[in-house]
């Protein structure tokens, strides 16, 4: 059984003397493979506590654990622990968190004193589960118990030198940002993220599940790599539940199920923080924008050829409202053939929850492999460098986390960020700089009446509205600066008249044009055009009609 990278980091940090206190965060509630001599294969599926016991501290004499639900427990070495004088005196193991942590601290010190006197001292490991619940991050907390808890846990790493005395402590938290900063930011604590299963780990898990779910995996019994590749980004726990249900129902998993199942599993595991866009269109559906489409197709070709060093880190699509920014992203996704993830409302009113939600999202993105992350209304979603007056600094922390993730060069060619905004001037300059957003594409309304007519005619044709050549006479009636959104609304209005009143298509179109009022003020459209022109990263993106826009 191959040990995961994060576990190797725990071992090397402990054996080198660099750390004895570890925070394990991220995918801590998942199932994972652990050694098990009772199984014919030598492995079984267990939780993180099982992994710690069997892989990280198999030679420790005493292992104690605490969680808010079950209190303080002896996981291994009960006979050795019972030799502690406090235990001989009949001390009950406490359930309250502060009392339990104090008992653990006293036992650490007792074993340390035994060693100092030259007596035989047991190797002791402590596992604190759900550490974010017993030592949470609370702003300006005046709780004596919470501050005492944070002080004790910090002292384990900073003062007690656990690794030098054969001792180790593991604090398990779903998110690093959920822990008290005295603990999470201690320089002597080694914080390690447990990622979602890699493709190799997923394949190993499926091989183990094959003997328990032979019917569910009947189509993949000779090649579990295929479902492992397709299910990347899911937890092993959710995949196990899915297969057990399929096995019980006698329903084999097949190839066409995988994409739909992966989407459902990932969205459930991520707690509704993200959505997947299922693209059903490509650039052939985009009218005009020839220069933009050519540029984007070249980037996609580089992506497919694994020439990742030439790939941009991200795009910004900017332009007036209704110019088709979201539609262009969907077409880009269809052209690239990769998953598109949209961020839902990850902001939360509880302290630390917003940052925890972002941690979950980033972990998922890393597990998905190649994907596009689409952030609509980016001027509102990405936060601000300066903290808002009423958000307790959440906006600035969101900004910091997003900026760090978007500039991580290890994500080049794996995570492609796509921002969309009609007010790009409100996006922080640092978030738009090269290295985060390398290509800024302006989108404009129709530059002239002929262009607007071709767009409207195409949209009417897509709705089955036949307009003869005589309709060309209506070109002069076309609105100024018509956007794709406004043209779509006009086509719908024409179709409504035809269906509701039985009007001829040409007459319906003429009536709609005569009564047309722009959905957005032309002054606002012109201002947003100028913003898009100012943002453009290449002159070829700007039509001549808008190049000198005032």
Q: What is the 3-state secondary structure (H, E, C) of 284-345?
A: HHCCCCHHHHHHHHHHHHHHHCCCHHHCCCEEEEECCCCCCHHHHHHHHHHHHCCCEEEECC
| Two structure tokens written together for 308 | 């990742």
Domain ranges of the chain: 5-194, 199-269, 276-442, 449-519
Q: How confident is the model over 99-115, as a mean pLDDT? A: 94
Q: What is the DSSP string of 102-126?
A: HHHHHHHHHHHHHHHTT-----EEE
Class of domain 5-194: alpha beta
Residue 280's pLDDT band (cuts 50, 70, 90): confident
Q: How confident is the model over 428-452, as a mean pLDDT? A: 91
Q: How confident is the model over 386-393, as a mean pLDDT? A: 59
pLDDT one-digit tens code per residue, 527-548: 999 999 999 998 888 888 887 6
Q: Which residues contact 74 (CB under 8 A, 6 or more apart)?
A: 62, 63, 64, 81, 93
- What pLDDT is attached to residue 144? 85
Poorest-pLDDT segment among 1-5, 336-340, 419-423: 336-340
Q: How buried is residue 348: exposed, middle or buried, by Cβ count under 10 Å (0-12/13-18/19+)?
A: middle
Poorest-pLDDT segment among 40-54, 274-288, 340-354: 340-354
Q: Which residues contact 527 (CB under 8 A, 6 or more apart)?
A: none
The Cα 80–Cα 62 span in angstroms is 7
Other CB atoms within 10 Å distance of the CB of residue 303: 18
Q: How confident is the model over 278-294, as a mean pLDDT? A: 82
Q: Which one, of 145, 186, 147, lies nearest residue 169 by Cα?
A: 186
Q: Which one, of 153, 150, 154, lies nearest residue 138 by Cα?
A: 150
- Residue 139 pLDDT greater than 60, yes or no: yes
Q: What is the pTM of this model?
A: 0.71
As a whole number, the mean pLDDT across the chain is 87
Q: Which position has the higher pLDDT, 525 or 385? A: 525
- What pLDDT is attached to residue 400? 86
Rounded alpha-carbon distances, angstroms, from residue 273 to 133, 137, 192, 351: 21, 21, 23, 17
Other CB atoms within 10 Å distance of the CB of residue 20: 23
What architecture (CATH level 2) is domain 276-442?
A: 3-Layer(aba) Sandwich (3.40)
Q: Are 316 and 381 in contact (CB under 8 A)?
A: no
| Two structure tokens written together for 473 | 């006479």
């Amino acid at each position: 059984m191959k040990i995961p990278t994060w576990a190797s980091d725990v071992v090397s940090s402990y054996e080198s003397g660099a750390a004895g206190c570890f925070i394990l965060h991220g995918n801590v509630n998942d199932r994972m493979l652990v050694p098990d001599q009772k199984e014919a294969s030598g492995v079984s599926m267990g939780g993180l506590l099982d992994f710690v016991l069997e892989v990280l501290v198999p030679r420790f004499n005493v292992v104690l654990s605490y969680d808010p639900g079950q209190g303080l427990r002896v996981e291994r070495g009960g006979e050795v622990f019972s030799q502690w004088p406090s235990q001989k005196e009949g001390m009950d193991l406490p359930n309250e968190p502060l009392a339990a942590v104090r008992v653990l601290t006293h036992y650490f010190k007792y074993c340390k004193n035994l060693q100092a006197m030259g007596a035989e001292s047991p190797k002791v490991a402590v596992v604190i589960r759900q550490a974010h619940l017993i030592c949470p991050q609370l702003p300006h907390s005046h709780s004596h118990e919470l501050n005492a808890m944070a002080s004790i846990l910090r002292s384990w790493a900073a003062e007690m030198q656990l690794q030098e005395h054969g001792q180790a402590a593991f604090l398990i938290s779903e998110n690093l940002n959920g822990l008290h900063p005295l603990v999470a930011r201690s320089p002597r604590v080694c914080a390690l993220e447990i990622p979602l299963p890699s493709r190799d780990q997923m394949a190993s898990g499926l091989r183990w599940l094959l003997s328990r779910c032979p019917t569910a995996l009947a189509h993949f019994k000779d090649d579990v790599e295929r479902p492992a590749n397709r299910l990347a980004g899911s937890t092993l726990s959710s995949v196990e539940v899915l297969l057990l249900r399929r096995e019980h129902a006698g329903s084999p998993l097949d190839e066409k199920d995988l994409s739909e199942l992966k989407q459902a599993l990932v969205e459930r595991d991520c707690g509704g923080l993200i959505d997947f866009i299922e693209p059903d269109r490509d650039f052939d559906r985009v009218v005009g924008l020839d220069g933009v489409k050519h540029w984007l197709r070249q980037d996609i070709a580089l992506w497919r050829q694994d020439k990742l060093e030439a790939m941009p880190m991200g795009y910004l699509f900017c332009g007036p409202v209704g110019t088709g920014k979201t539609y262009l992203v969907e077409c880009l996704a269809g052209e690239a053939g990769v998953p598109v993830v949209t961020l839902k409302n990850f902001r939360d009113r509880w302290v630390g929850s917003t940052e925890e939600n972002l941690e979950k999202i980033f972990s998922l993105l890393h597990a998905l492999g190649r994907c596009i992350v689409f952030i609509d209304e980016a001027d509102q979603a990405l936060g601000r460098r300066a903290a808002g007056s009423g958000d307790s600094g959440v906006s600035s922390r969101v900004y910091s986390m997003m900026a760090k993730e978007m500039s991580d060069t290890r994500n080049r060619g794996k995570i492609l960020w796509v921002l969309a905004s009609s007010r790009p001037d409100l996006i922080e300059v640092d978030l738009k700089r090269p290295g985060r957003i390398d290509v800024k594409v302006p989108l404009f309304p129709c530059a002239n009446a002929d262009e607007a007519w071709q767009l409207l005619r195409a949209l009417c044709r897509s709705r089955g509205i036949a307009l003869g050549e005589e309709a060309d006479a209506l070109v002069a009636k076309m609105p100024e600066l018509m956007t794709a959104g406004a043209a779509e609304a006009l086509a719908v209005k024409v179709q409504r008249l035809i269906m509701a009143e039985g009007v001829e298509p040409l007459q319906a179109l003429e009536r709609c044009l005569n009564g047309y009022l722009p959905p957005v003020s032309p002054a606002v459209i012109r201002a947003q055009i100028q913003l898009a022109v100012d943002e453009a990263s290449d002159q070829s993106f700007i039509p001549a009609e808008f190049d000198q826009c005032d």
